[in-house]
Amino acid sequence: MFDFGPVLENVSFQNMRFDPDQTPFARLASEMATAFGYTAELSVDPRLLQLLRLRVAQLNPCSYCLILHTEVSTKIGISSILVAHLPSWRESTMFSAKERAALRYCEALTIFDQERFAAAHDELRTHFTERDVAEIAAVIINMNVWTRLKLAQGAVPVDAERMRASGRNADPR
């Protein structure tokens, strides 16, 4: 599949609110990431799934997830132009009809509205199999769990050099 090499090698994060390892939840979230995160092998196009991960990170402005998924997007060959204007996908001709349907579904599931979600689901089913929809939903749900976990724990990017100079350790997650 893809060789991701080191990801987040040039940035460190510090938990400003709490250590997520205080409960088993972080381990459970990690298991979900193994199954549906950016290194998971799924049947849906990896490029599309990565766009969805990044879009969730944008909608739930999580610094950790934005930095991670922007870097992963670059590593798998998604252009910086596409990444930069993902928030304005409705105004772009660079996204296919399938991608647009998936992005609409992603937004409807992330910022849930029953009426909008039902229509987005119906549109998604015109482009994808039931299995594909289940994978797409799982990826989006997984990303929503991670963005909210990272926001709750206060995972913020820190200047690694400044942290070393002050004698504090940054959380390398």
Residue 12: pLDDT above 80?
A: yes
Go through the domains of the chain in sequence order and give each one's CATH number: 24-157 (1.20.1290.10)
DSSP 95: S
Dump pLDDT digits (tens) for 16-66. 999 999 999 999 999 999 999 999 999 999 999 999 999 999 999 999 999
**pLDDT, tens digit, for every residue of 93-136?**
999 999 999 999 999 999 998 889 999 999 999 999 999 999 99
With CA atoms as reference, report the closest residue to 38 among 73, 67, 64.
73
Residue 171: predicted pLDDT: 44
CB-based contact 105:120 (threshold 8 Å)? yes
Q: Three-state secondary structure along 105-152? A: HHHHHHCCCHHHHHHHHHHHHCCCCHHHHHHHHHHHHHHHHHHHHHHH
Residue 170 contacts residue 163 (beta carbons within 8 Å):
yes
Element (H, E) at 158: strand 155-158
